[in-house]
Structure 1
Amino acid sequence: YCDWYIEIAKRRLYDETDAPGRRAAQHVLWKVLDGALKLLHPFMPFITEGIWQHLPHEGDSIMTQAWPRADEAWLDPRAEAEMAMIMETVRAIRNVRAEFEVAPSRKVDAIFHADGETATALDRNADILAHLAGLAGVKLEPAAAPKPEKAAAAVAPGVEVYLPLAGMIDIGKEIERLQRDIQSMHAEAERVRAKLGNESFVSKAPAQVVQKQRDRLADLEDQLAKVRARVAQLES
């Protein structure tokens, strides 16, 4: 909520040309915070009461309010999966920026390689990506497009991102960084593979939990292949 939605909502809150969008963002911000305060109140009574009193409300105290109830009509697995992909992509870009000590205030261009629904989601959320990752421009290309030279690479599920850091990138340092990523992803893939190789886990865990692990392993193997290919390209 704080790290992601509030940052995303700022664009709509400050956009004077989109009054309906601003009101929608304000309502979501209030609704989520109001519900969170009610859930936290039994454990943090004083601070939640103090914050709640500053929000639009009915009644004298948060302690007399009805307990929030889940509404399955609000569930949207597709939107959740899309946002998870956007968040992973932003994290990957931020990690590259930090690795190469690119100041948060410095805008950089980004080239995204993706296909299908992932490409559609990236295009739909280009403004959010630019805002959260500090990008000057967002360019979307097919997954099979030629890889840019002298560009730092970031990998997230279903997408490769290239940041053309001309004059800022050290090829040797980039290879070392990618090798560390390979080691980390390989270790995680081995952990997931070991879990899936455990007959007790596969037979006793809920089917959706097992499938989630299988999907995670497939994502890791795909990312490993892409990063290894990038290392080979840089070394050639």
Structure 2
Amino acid sequence: MNTEDQDCGFNGGEMILSLADRWILAEFNQTVKAFREALDSYRFDIAAGILYEFTWNQFCDWYLELAKPVMNGGTEAELRGTRNTLITVLEGLLRLAHPIIPFITETIWQRVKAIAGINADTIMLQPFPEFDAAKVDEAASADTEWLKQAIVAVRNIRAEMNIAPGKPLELLLRGCSDAAVRRVTENNTFLKTMARLESITVLPADDKGPVSVTKIIDGAELLIPMAGLVDKDAELARLAKEVAKVDVEIGKIESKLANEGFVARAPEAVIAKERERLVAFADAKTKLIEQQAVIAAL
């Protein structure tokens, strides 16, 4: 759809690669290295896991999302660069996956080859991907990982504070390193689009800022001001109910662990699982109480 009958840069033309393009190309290169090492050591289980991790979590989950700002509003050179990256990585991924899932990779490759400008009959006769040290891009990897953490942090705040996904938010940053400021400056529009932000402001280190929910990434504080975003009374009532539910679960587990008969008869794995659940519920209660404090201060 976004690449068929489109200029994907395989016949020339200026191409500008976005940070996301550079990142996924570098990630694929590292995946090739890890995958081949797993095959060389006959660890086909590890190889399959490496393939799944890249395909699902990096290419499908993140890169296709990160490519949308360019696909929806990039220049011709940027569009050409992103389309080229999409097809280059997909075609290489199909060749990499072919030993594990031969039939479906052949079927998909038959459609992709024309877009990639490949004149060949079968994927079986294509070269197997090789790691290229020249394609390592540590800067793109570091910058993209930071941006991903920032996007996830904002999304988590939305979920925790029950804020609508489409509601534009104000993002404040405090205590940023020079690298973090550069990343925000260079990727301002991109970050706003992916995290649905209305504005991004870097605060001085000594600026307390308004009442906000805060997340920490790489030493920097990400603050989302809460004023005007929630119905204070309704949200406090909701949080009180959630705390009560968690208290009930904590009480059940504590009673179970205090029962000498249960502890004596239950397998150690079952007891360990209950203790893990107790810690998880205690952590959840702490977070809920922190949210209550933020809302109460509005």
Shift, 1:30, TM fit: 1.0
Residues 162-206 of structure 1 deviation map (CA, whole Å, 9 limit, x = unaligned): 111213356986xx99xxxxxxxxxxxxxxxxxxxxxxxxxxxxx
CA distance in 2, matches of 1:52, 1:106: 40
Cα gap change, 1:145/1:30 in structure 2, threshold over 3 Å: closer, same or farther?
Answer: farther
State the one-letter code of the partner of 2:90. Answer: L
User: 1:45 matched to which residue of 2?
Assistant: 102
Establish whether residue 129 from structure 1 lines up as the match of residue 191 from structure 2: yes
Q: Residue 3 of structure 1 aligns to a residue in which SS?
A: helix
Map of 1:141 onto structure 2: 203
Structure 2 gaps, min length 5: 1-58, 244-289
Q: 1:107 to 1:38 in 2, by over 3 A?
A: same
Q: Which residue of 1 aligns with 2:214?
A: 153
Instruction: Return the letter of the residue paired with 1:98.
Output: A
1:30 match: 87
Which residue is equivalent to 1:19?
76
Match of 1:85, SS state, is: helix
2:119 equivalent in structure 1: 58
| Alignment correspondent of 1:211 | none
RMSD: 2.8
Amino acid at match of 1:3: D
Distance in structure 2 (CA, Å) of the matches to 1:26 and 1:130: 22
Q: 2:162 aligns with which of 101, 104, 119?
A: 101
Give 1:14 shift: 2.5
Among 116, 124, 141, the residue aligned to 1:80: 141
* DSSP-derived class of the 2:171 partner: strand
User: TM-score, length-normalised on structure 2?
Assistant: 0.54
Contact 1:110 1:138 in 2 (8 A): yes
- Do 1:118 and 1:158's aligned partners in 2 also have CA atoms closer than 8 Å? no
Counterpart-to-counterpart distance in 2, 1:145 and 1:20: 42
CA contact 1:123–1:140 (8 Å) conserved in 2: no
Shift of the alpha carbon at 1:124? 1.0
* Residue of structure 2 equivalent to 1:111: 172
Residue 141 of structure 1, CA deviation: 2.6
What are the ranges of 5 or more consecutive residues in structure 1 without an aligned counterpart?
Answer: 178-229
Between the aligned partners of 2:166 and 2:61, the Cα distance in structure 1 is 18
- 8 Å CA contact 1:8–1:132 kept in 2: the answer is yes
Runs of 4+ residues over 3 Å off in structure 1: 167-173, 233-236
Where 1:104 maps in the other structure, the secondary structure is coil
TM-score normalized with structure 1 length: 0.68
Deviates further, 162-171 or 31-40: 162-171
CA distance in 1, matches of 2:199, 2:155: 15
Secondary structure of 1:162's aligned partner:
strand
Match of 2:152 in 1: 91
Amino acid at match of 2:153: A
Q: Supply the distance in 2 between the matched residues of 1:120 and 1:138 (Cα, whole angstroms).
A: 13
Q: Give per-residue Cα distances to partners, 1:22-49, cap 9 Å, x unaligned.
A: 1011111111111111111111112212
User: Residues 74-94 of structure 1: CA distance to partner in whole angstroms, max 9, x if unpaired?
Assistant: 111122111111111111111
Residue type at the aligned position of 1:39:
L
Q: Distance in 2 between matches of 1:13 and 1:53?
A: 24
Aligned counterpart for 1:10 among listed residues 68, 71, 79: 68
Distance 1:42 1:115 in 2: 44
Q: Give the structure with higher Rg (CA).
A: 2
- Give the paired residue count: 180
Q: Does structure 2 retain, via aligned residues, the 8 Å contact 1:49–1:61?
A: yes
